[in-house]
Amino acid sequence: MKKTIVITGASRGIGRAIAIELAGKDTNIVINCVNNVDKLNEVKSIIEEKGSECETFAGDMGNYSDVQKMFDMCLQRFGQVDVLINNAGISVVGLFQDMSEDEWHRICNTNIDSVFNCCHFAVKDMMKRHCGKIINISSVWGLYGASCEVAYSATKGAVNSFTRALAKELAPSGIQVNAVACGAIDTEMNGHLSDDDKAELAEEIPAGRFGAPQEVAELVKSLSGINNYLTGQIITLDGGWI
């Protein structure tokens, strides 16, 4: 039987890599973004070429009603949700004292409210069948904090705590919840760094380089597989950096 997988923030970067990695004849995939609809449709074409049936949904995962519409569509088309991958996220870089209230609420809405919203609807379906996997894409800054990324660090710390707590609650129902805490990954989110900054940062990483979105995707694929005992874990993928 095909698995149905929902991936948020899938038009580029890590989400795009995950969606393509999980595509195949044994999966149905629902992918989401807010604004990059053309890029999302490009990802859909690649997914379908690999044999998956695919639906796209343009909407804000921080908006409860948008998320409800996406899951209604998913359940109507595919009948169930087997795997939820919460990847939607943004970062704001700058001094804390310069951050506006609107910026604070925007990053909280995108990075943690989206996780609540999506889990709220996915869990309802998973509980009926006593199975399912939730994988939250987090960051090492959620574990250790980063100067000039206070809001981002706070939201990713919340994602990590959410993951551990929800995993304990859902384990008796056969549902696993884990997170991948990414280090420096070569995506547009790190586009504010100059080439010199990137080279300097890479020197701090024992692996000697940034991670690739594909490497995150391969780990997520493994977590979405058959191991039903691994739950409540924050798995760090950072090349030995932190």
Q: Which residues are catalytic?
A: 152
Residue 26: CB atoms within 10 Å: 11
- Whether residue 61 contacts residue 118, with contact meaning beta carbons closer than 8 Å, is answered with yes
- β-strands 175-182, 3-7 pairing: unpaired
Query: Would you give the DSSP letter of residue 109?
Result: I
Paired with 83 in beta bridges are 5, 133
d(CA 89, CA 110): 6
- Find where tokens 């280090």 sit: 183
- Whether residue 135 contacts residue 87, with contact meaning beta carbons closer than 8 Å, is answered with no
Q: Which amino acid is present at 72?
A: D
CA angle 80, 84, 86 (to 5 degrees): 150
Q: Which amino acid is present at 82?
A: D
Strand order in the sheet with 53-58: 53-58, 27-33, 3-7, 83-86, 132-139, 175-182, 234-237
Helices (H) and strands (E) in the chain, counts: 9, 7
Q: Is the dihedral of CA 170, 29, 108, 201 positive or negative?
A: positive
